[in-house]
Amino acid sequence: MTKAASAAAKDFAAAGVGGVHLAWADNNGIPRSRIVPIAGLADAASRGVGATSLFAVFDSHDAITYGHAGLATPSGDVRLVPVVERLRRLAGQPALAWAPVRQLTRSGDPWPYCQRAVLEAQVAEAARRGLEFRAGYELEFAVAPAGSADVVSAPGHPGPAYSPHALVGLDGFVAALLHDFAANGLRIGQLHAEYGVAQVELSLAATDPVAAADDQLLARQTIHAAAHAHGLVVSFAPLVGLGSAGNGWHLHTSVRRKGRNLLDDNGTGVPDGDGAAYLAGLLRDLPALTAITAPSVPSTLRLRPGFFAGAYAFWGVENREAPLRYVPGSPLLGADHANVELKTSDASANPYLALAVVLAAGMAGIEDAAALPEPIAEDPGGWTEGERETRGVRRLPADTAGQDAALTASPRVAGVLGDDLLGAFRAVRASDAAWAADRTADEIVAAHLWRY
Ligand code: GLU
Ligand code: MG
């Protein structure tokens, strides 16, 4: 790998690249990085660069919590080792390249707090079971002129939603996104003006889970840079205003055995067999999954009924209000198209952890042949409490304490992180909740706008 790093460094240096962002995401979904000069890339690839182990206990506001016994002092160091196969020159920041990192101990062993390693372990487990996953993110974000204090008072496009002319004023930005994504090796499925205030959405083509998480981080860097170059700023926060649609980062997954997509509906409109059990596994653990995939205080504010974000635990076929939206294949689209969309997912999730718990819960569903209830076509938010009770549809946890209880109730999900990382993750959530306790919802939204 060092040889590959040396060769890449030489090529990049000749092309004018001065340094490489070594990037990861913390337990708040906030990307962090260290830049090494291009001449230091090979050394970084073999020995890593040092960073404090306390990044595992940074909260969403850059405060360090000492609430987790394993990381309760300022002492400790980890090594950040770039994954050279994923090294890319940044099209929108041509003097820089980018690579995701593995977090290792000083002796070069896997560090138990490395979120990427947690996902790699689930992918390896899937391979042992003869399963192969594909995953892809949809990214919603809001645009504002650079320097704006918020999005609602300075929307970067006027709407209407889904309108081509809404984006005319953002022509240069859109062109840069299309160019830079392709140049950075990221495939956009589609891009449009979304429903929320100054909202834009783009979807990434499905790939293997670790690449999907890496790509999600690279996509953020790519969007931020394109926005900056065009006098804009973007917010990936779960909410940019209390009255408006939130920014969901919906996570699409499908699972294959021997090349066959288990989620194919075979023309019936609903999955069966292992595909149904996969979806049932996600539904069974949805409250605990959501504690990882939409874990921040603003995440819980986003998950309201009526906003297509998923407030109640249920599944539906192409139901936009369902947190688990089954997307069937068809003769036109092919069996390969079938997938499940998780809507209770946003930018405040660590993408590696989000995918790791989804894979684990889905695999457990298959293992247990979990039973899938009937799909729901309506919005249970419009039902009475009694109707929801009768149909067994529960509200997803709406605060940090509820999410934490859901994690406790699901060793299947909590166990994926391992005791050390789970302890750090919980400490961070508790630190965020304590920060939010005496603040208004507006203050909470404002404080997270530019964090991701
Ligand atoms: N903006 C919605 C959310 O908060 C999703 C809208 C859609 O279905 O694309 O997730
Ligand atoms: Mg959308």
Structural domain total, the chain: 2
| Residue 182: partners with Cβ closer than 8 Å, 6 or more residues away | 188
> Which residue's CA lies nearest to atom 9 of ligand 1?
308
CA angle 400–404–407, rounded 5-degree value: 140
**From residue 335, how far is each of 124, 257, 390 by CA, in Å?**
25, 13, 34
From CA 115, how far away is CA 217, in angstroms rounded? 13
Q: Does any domain span residue 188?
A: no
192 C-beta neighbours (distance < 10 Å), count = 17
The verdict on residue 174 lying in a domain is no
What is the C-alpha radius of gyration for the chain, rounded to an integer number of angstroms? 21
The count of other CB atoms within 10 Å of the CB of residue 283 is 22
How many A from CA of 307 to the centre of ligand 1? 7
28: closest CA among 286, 348, 270, 374?
A: 348
Distance 201 CA to ligand 2 centre (A): 6
Q: Are 147 and 233 in contact (CB under 8 A)?
A: yes
Query: What are the residues whose beta carbon lies below 5 Å from ligand 2 (ion)?
Result: 201
Long-range contacts of 189-195 (CB under 8 A, 24+ apart): 189/136, 192/162, 192/167, 193/157, 193/159, 193/160, 193/161, 193/162, 193/163, 193/164, 193/166, 193/167, 194/140, 194/161, 194/162, 194/245, 195/161, 195/162, 195/245, 195/308
Q: What 8-state DSSP symbol labels residue 38?
A: G
| Ligand 2 center–CA 337 separation, angstroms | 18
Asked whether residue 266 falls in the same domain as residue 361, the answer is: yes
Q: Residue-wise pLDDT tens for the chain (452 aa)?
A: 689 999 999 999 999 999 999 999 999 999 999 999 999 999 999 999 999 999 999 999 999 999 999 999 999 999 999 999 999 999 999 999 999 999 999 999 999 999 999 999 999 999 999 999 999 999 999 999 999 999 999 999 999 999 999 999 999 999 999 999 999 999 999 999 999 999 999 999 999 999 999 999 999 999 999 999 999 999 999 999 999 999 999 999 999 999 999 999 999 999 999 999 999 999 999 999 999 999 999 999 999 999 999 999 999 999 999 999 999 999 999 999 999 999 999 999 999 999 999 999 999 999 999 999 999 999 999 999 999 999 999 999 999 999 999 999 999 999 999 999 999 999 999 999 999 999 999 999 999 999 99
Say whether both 70 and 205 belong to one domain: no
- Same domain, residue pair 130 and 27: no
Residues 247 and 298: beta-carbon distance below 8 Å: no
Candidates 195, 200, 299, 321: which one to mutate for ligand 1, based on the most atoms within 8 Å of Cβ?
A: 195
Distance 195 CA to ligand 2 centre (A): 7
Q: Using CA atoms, how far apart are residues 196 and 246, in angstroms rounded to an integer?
A: 7
Q: List the CATH number of the domain containing 66.
A: 3.10.20.70
| DSSP state letter for 244 | S
130 and 265, same structural domain? yes
| Full residue range of the structural domain in which residue 397 is found | 122-145+201-210+237-448
Is 225 a member of any domain?
no
Closest CA to 358 of 201, 205, 213: 213
Q: Residue 420 falls within a domain, yes or no?
A: yes
